[in-house]
Chains A and B, each alone.
Chain A
Amino acid sequence: GAGVSQSPSNKVTEKGKDVELRCDPISGHTALYWYRQRLGQGLEFLIYFQGNSAPDKSGLPSDRFSAERTGESVSTLTIQRTQQEDSAVYLCASSLVQGVHEQYFGPGTRLTVT
C-alpha cells in the first residue's frame, strides 16, 4: 500500500545496546513526526521534520535520542545505550501540508528493553 511504513515492527534489545528505527513516509509528504507511546497512554512528541527546515527536536527526552531524515524520504530514529524506560511503541507520522497537519501514522515499532 501507499501508507506510512515502519520497521522493524517489534524490537527486543538488551539494556545498553543501541537501536535504530526506520520510517518510510507517504511519498510527497514534506512533514514527518516521531512520537513515543507508553502502554495505555497518549502520544509523546519527540521530533518533527519539515522540508529543508531545521528539525524541531524539542521533544527528545535525552541526548541518547537522535533522528535523521534524508530529504523528504526515509527517517531513522536512533536510541543509544537503551534503558528499560525506553520501552514503548514508537510511532511515525507524515503529513502533506504543514498548515493543516492531518497526520497519517504508521503501525509503530514496539521496543522492549530487557
Chain B
Amino acid sequence: TQLLEQSPQFLSIQEGENLTVYCNSSSVFSSLQWYRQEPGEGPVLLVTVVTGGEVKKLKRLTFQFGDARKDSSLHITAAQPGDTGLYLCAGAETSGSRLTFGEGTQLTVNP
C-alpha cells in the first residue's frame, strides 16, 4: 500500500509570506494531484501532474512533481487569507489504480 506523507501538518503564517508544502512517498506515482478543502465542503482539485520534473503554475501557486515521480511540492507566494484551507495531495500508482490521499496540511493565513 502506498503511503503519502505530507509536511508540515499545520502551518500558520501572516498574509504576504511565502510557504511550501511537501508530499513524499517511497512509491512511484503515475500521476499526483493537489486538492484544497474548505470547512464544510468537499476537496476541490487544484492541479494534476503526470511527468517527472513537471512544474505547473496556478496564479500564486506553483506545483512541482519530483524527477523520480515519488514526491511533490506546493509553493504559495504572497499568501492571502483566502488561501486558508486543508491542502491534500493524492497519488495513483498506475493509471488504473485508485488514489491514495495524504493526511493533509492545514494552512491558516492571518490578515
Residues of A within 8 A of B (CB): 4, 33, 35, 40-43, 45, 48, 56, 91, 93, 98-108
Q: Are A99 and B95 in contact (CB under 8 A)?
A: yes
Contact of A100 among B31, B43, B100 (CB under 8 A): B31
Residues of B within 8 A of A (CB): 6, 31, 33, 35, 40-45, 48, 50, 88, 90, 92, 95-96, 98-104, 106
* 7 chain-A/chain-B pairs, Cβ below 8 angstroms: A42-B103, A43-B88, A45-B99, A48-B98, A100-B95, A103-B43, A108-B41
Given the known interface contacts A42-B103, A45-B101, A101-B98, the answer about A108 and B42 at a Cβ–Cβ threshold of 8 Å is yes
Q: Are A103 and B102 in contact (CB under 8 A)?
A: no
Chain B nearest CB: distance from A90 CB in Å? Answer: 11
Q: Are B44 and A98 in contact (CB under 8 A)?
A: no
Q: Are B98 and A45 in contact (CB under 8 A)?
A: yes
Contact of A42 among B42, B50, B101 (CB under 8 A): B101
Chain A positions within 8 Å of B6 at CB level: 42
Give CA–CA (A41, B10) in the complex, Å: 11
User: Does more than half of chain B's interface fall in helix, strand or loop, or is it mixed?
Assistant: strand
Give CA–CA (A103, B96) in the complex, Å: 14
Chain B positions within 8 Å of A101 at CB level: 31, 33, 90, 92, 98-99
Give CA–CA (A35, B42) in the complex, Å: 11
Q: Are B101 and A4 in contact (CB under 8 A)?
A: no
Given the known interface contacts A43-B88, A98-B96, A99-B95, the answer about A104 and B45 at a Cβ–Cβ threshold of 8 Å is yes
Chain B positions within 8 Å of A40 at CB level: 106
Q: Are B40 and A107 in contact (CB under 8 A)?
A: yes
The 9 A-B residue pairs with the shortest CB-CB distance in the complex, in nearest-first order: A105-B42, A99-B95, A42-B103, A43-B101, A42-B104, A48-B98, A101-B92, A105-B43, A42-B101
Give CA–CA (A107, B33) in the complex, Å: 19
Chain A nearest CB: distance from B61 CB in Å? Answer: 17
Chain B positions within 8 Å of A98 at CB level: 95-96
